[in-house]
A and B are shown apart, each in its own frame.
Chain A
């Protein structure tokens, strides 16, 4: 690695920093994180890059990458259009699995209209944080996670159900669950001890594993991003999401993929994905679902189970937001919203004495607005109660 290229890289960062250093955050945690970035950049500026050895250049390459990524996340989070309602709900879900105090969620509004995803690159690069601590004595207690939300659907809570699936990817990467399942499933087949039913259940969802030579090849040749591991991860994330929003994410995804009957390198078929989730939701003790549940429990010490607290309500039909009493009920808002969307809209018309037909656009706007307001009201009431009692 040449010093001139690192100098170029660092100059690009300095150019970016020239404006980013004036970023304003209302969140104290982001301000503290930003101040640490500022210290690192000052320390880097004091170093003489032209005198670095190739190893030292490589080290600074990762540091500059880290700084760029952090700035990208923080810059996006100064947007004042942040859908904080979505973030609040996802934080609740995340808190079931890892302590929320360890990270800061930021949101980025992007142009890809189905681009719901998490960017976890900073969360998972433990070595980079250690490198920075060694080189500059700066320790980051909290890591940044970026949620990408499409600009066009930032207020589409019905579509946002896919974020629970994406959260599953984050948890998977954090705990490396798919990696373990990869070994376990292949080892189980190669052991020859599976019953016919168990083997058939595996092959139903991973049809290519009917070929024993392929099983042996996968076992001997792991590499990140191979088809089998990708498929394991997708089923895991569907399972993860269904804990919170039932079948609705998969039904929506099935539509987006036109009920795809075949798999590809990255995803199993939509039909198989839906079937897998129904195995879980209907309580069928099928081998593969049970294997997933057992592995998740052993690694994370948390169970795969239904985590949304349901409630009975006709508030949406009455054009009212729901009064949420407990955080676990927040997740059920999405299932409720979907139920109303998929239901007969005449109920809304009747309950509110409408003299006109509701257009789909209007129903879409009403349901999403009421989900948003239900979440927002819960946040407001909770914060108010906490501080009002502390002051009185």
Chain B
């Protein structure tokens, strides 16, 4: 897996793993995925741009923004509001499109 796939695919795989843990209620993982979800929201509404969004997660952010722009535009900036419903949604978006980046 890690010998035929590239680093970007592995980042998405790890992010998906974290989402799974966040869905199960693990706050430590939720904190990490919240950062990515928030960055996506800020990017989509124009408060962040290509030059200053998180570099490590940029491909995940751009992918999410491309797939569900409207959904992410409506999210709150207060990450304490992020809940299982959001994690489920993001998980569903990512896992449906994951193979596109392989």
Residues 59 to 99 of chain B near chain A (Cβ within 8 Å)? 59, 62
Residues 283 to 304 of chain A near chain B (Cβ within 8 Å)? 295, 298-299
User: Which residue of chain B is the closest to A1 with respect to CB atoms?
Assistant: B1
Residues of chain A at the chain B interface (Cβ within 8 Å): 55, 58-59, 62, 65, 121, 124-128, 130-131, 134, 173-176, 179-180, 183-184, 222-225, 295, 298-299
Q: In the bound complex, how far is the Cα of B4 from the Cα of A224, in angstroms?
A: 13
Q: In the bound complex, how far is the Cα of B7 from the Cα of A180, in angstroms?
A: 17
Interchain Cβ contacts within 8 Å, total number: 63
Q: Nearest Cβ distance between residue B2 and chain A, in whole angstroms?
A: 6
Say whether, besides A124-B56, A179-B58, A298 and B51 are in contact (CB < 8 Å).
Answer: yes
The answer to whether A55 and B58 touch across the interface, beta carbons within 8 angstroms, is no
The answer to whether B10 and A125 touch across the interface, beta carbons within 8 angstroms, is yes
Which residues of the other chain, A, contact B57 by a CB distance below 8 angstroms?
A: 126
Q: Nearest Cβ distance between residue A1 and chain B, in whole angstroms?
A: 10
The answer to whether A174 and B59 touch across the interface, beta carbons within 8 angstroms, is no
Residues of chain B at the chain A interface (Cβ within 8 Å): 2, 6-11, 14-15, 17-18, 20-21, 28-29, 32, 50-52, 55-59, 62, 100-102
The answer to whether A131 and B101 touch across the interface, beta carbons within 8 angstroms, is no
The answer to whether A127 and B11 touch across the interface, beta carbons within 8 angstroms, is yes
The answer to whether A65 and B2 touch across the interface, beta carbons within 8 angstroms, is yes
Which residues of the other chain, A, contact B51 by a CB distance below 8 angstroms?
A: 180, 295, 298-299
The answer to whether A175 and B101 touch across the interface, beta carbons within 8 angstroms, is no
Q: Nearest Cβ distance between residue B89 and chain A, in whole angstroms?
A: 19
Q: In the bound complex, how far is the Cα of B19 from the Cα of A44, in angstroms?
A: 23
The answer to whether A223 and B101 touch across the interface, beta carbons within 8 angstroms, is yes
